[in-house]
Structure 1
Amino acid sequence: MHLDLSGRTAIVTGSSQGIGLAIAVGLAQAGARTVLTGRGDERLLQAANHLAGAAPGAEVVTVRCDLATAEGAELLHAGVPDTDILVNNLGIFGPTPALDITDEQWREYFDTNVLSAVRLIRAYLPGMAERGWGRIQNIASDSALVIPAEMIHYGVSKTALLAVSRGFAKEAAGSGVTVNSVIAGPTHTPGVEDFVYELVGRDRSWDEAQREFMRLYRPQSLLGRLIEPNEIAHLVVYLSSPQASATTGAAVRVDGGYVDSVVP
């Protein structure tokens, strides 16, 4: 299958590292002009250099902004007024005992993991609909369906993101714009490495720590390992393509079989 995104612009939020950067690379390799976002100039520059090396000749734009705020969304929209593809990947996570999660933490997770996507969909969906083509994807998590006891605020925010996707898909009905969620399973990123070590201890190698983490905290995984970011990116690139024109309002899983269900 030849996935050609030449002539398309793609915005990927939270794309200075990890899953977001892998998605940006995949979209650039398919021919898209790719917009990277993040809060730090140095990390964005490193990400842009990495993308240029992985996708020679690709056009890349960087926008420094804090998309957990309305001001950050306005700054991005002012710098990139139109896009064909919007991938809302920005998210935060971290373990906190359920009864210790404060109101401030709940608000922070909702602002970052949910409202950041809502604001950008609100900004970019009208232009997509007017042009008759667009792809919006919200990167959710297995935690949306299997709420983790060690970070229920994260799980709840990702559950909300599934509803956001379904609702805006209805708003976009018949316009040529698709809106979907991508349910990513436990994925190997630098942030997750820190998370794993925090839970199982740092007195062991990474392979040992990963195996112990999967055994203790993610035993449902049928892969028995963490997913690599480029494996998430492959699905996102497909859903961004013309070939995915009949997939909308869906929650599509790339979770290594983690969610024990026979339906998506």
Structure 2
Amino acid sequence: MTIMHIELKDRTAIVTGSTAGIGRAIAEGLARAGASVVINGRSQERVEATLRQMRTLLPNAILKGIVADVSTAQGCAALIASVPEADILINNAGTAHPNGFFEQTDEEWLDLFQTNVLSAVRLSRHYLMKMKANGWGRVIFISSESALNIPKEMIDYGVSKSALLGVSRGLAELVAGSGVTVNAVLPGPTRSESLSAWMAESAQEHGISPAQAEHDFLETMRPTSLLQRFSTTEEVANMVVYVASQQASATTGAALRVDGGVVRTIA
């Protein structure tokens, strides 16, 4: 029996928005597989804290921290200037918050798209060309099951994640046959820093435990979940690390769900 061993030594990986949550777990997973990993965040304090934590966990890992707000063109340019080439780009930076569609302004829609969509577009535009020239590369967009099940309380978020699916598939078509793959990964409800904080607030508001708040969320907001619990950030990261590997060389142009079966489709 052949046991799959993912080896990313000599590969450089950039993970945007990687000081917490899914991005942090992806960065650690890639580092454990041997990749040199670029940690990115908007705050010097959080980037440095993440580097300290990961160096304690993985003393032999090759890590670099870049403070840059990739929701802006200037922030993307700063990241590119610090790391001109990469073998693996994980477009993870994103934000979400409940809102009312009828109360939202154009500026709020545009701000969210700058973070969730245009950050990925700008960075892919730079790094993908270099990957294509080198004959190998991986670009992975962190989308969401909300791209397929648009939540009425966060329509802007769902639409932005749908947009990532379109960009991902289009770029896969653009680099066909080059040795570069482009894919999207769609997490479902995940026990990340942001969603856990939301559950803690809900628990406090209703006088229940965070575990009960999580259960109630799934029952009312994601009743189609087959997992019937939140995924862990590590479970999402495991999919991303695989897709970033040589073993996933025949997977491209795909939307890969780690949603706990929330989306009711077999395709």
Q: TM-score scaled by structure 1?
A: 0.97
Query: Partner of 1:215 in structure 2?
Result: 219
Matching of residue 57 in structure 1 with residue 30 in structure 2: no
The answer to whether the 8 A contact 1:94-1:195 is kept is: no
Partner of 1:87, secondary structure, is strand
Query: Partner of 1:190 in structure 2?
Result: 193
Partner of 1:99, secondary structure, is coil
Report the AA paired with residue 87 of structure 1: I
Q: Deviations over 1:188-207 (max 9, x none)?
A: 11211233345563522211
The answer to whether the 8 A contact 1:18-1:229 is kept is: yes
Query: Partner of 1:162 in structure 2?
Result: 165
Corresponding residue to 1:148 among 151, 168, 171: 151
Query: Partner of 2:129 in structure 1?
Result: 126
Tell me the matched-pair count.
263
Change (3 A) 1:173 1:102: same
The answer to whether the 8 A contact 2:202-2:213 is kept is: no
Partner of 2:102, secondary structure, is helix
Report the AA paired with residue 12 of structure 2: T
- 215-224 vs 235-244, greater mean Cα deviation: 215-224
Matching of residue 176 in structure 1 with residue 168 in structure 2: no
Q: CA deviation at 1:184?
A: 0.7
Q: Deviations over 1:9-40 (max 9, x none)?
A: 00000001110000000000000000000011
1-structure distance, mates of 2:57, 2:238: 15
Q: Structure 1: any 5+ residue segments left out of the alignment?
A: none
2-structure distance, mates of 1:218, 1:239: 26
1-structure distance, mates of 2:193, 2:237: 16
Q: CA deviation at 1:53?
A: 2.6
1-structure distance, mates of 2:198, 2:222: 13
2-structure distance, mates of 1:107, 1:179: 25
Report the AA paired with residue 182 of structure 1: V
2-structure distance, mates of 1:198, 1:218: 18
Corresponding residue to 2:237 among 233, 239, 247: 233
Corresponding residue to 1:242 among 233, 246, 249: 246
The answer to whether the 8 A contact 1:181-1:251 is kept is: yes
The aligned runs of 1:73-112 (5 Å cut-off) are: 73-112=76-115
Query: Partner of 1:3 in structure 2?
Result: 6
Q: CA deviation at 1:132?
A: 0.3
Corresponding residue to 2:27 among 24, 27, 40: 24
Q: TM-score scaled by structure 2?
A: 0.96
The answer to whether the 8 A contact 1:186-1:255 is kept is: yes
1-structure distance, mates of 2:153, 2:255: 24
2-structure distance, mates of 1:164, 1:10: 20
- 208-217 vs 158-167, greater mean Cα deviation: 208-217
Taking only the aligned residue pairs, the percentage that are identical comes to: 51
Query: Partner of 1:258 in structure 2?
Result: 262
Change (3 A) 1:82 1:75: same
Query: Partner of 2:228 in structure 1?
Result: 224
Report the AA paired with residue 226 of structure 1: F
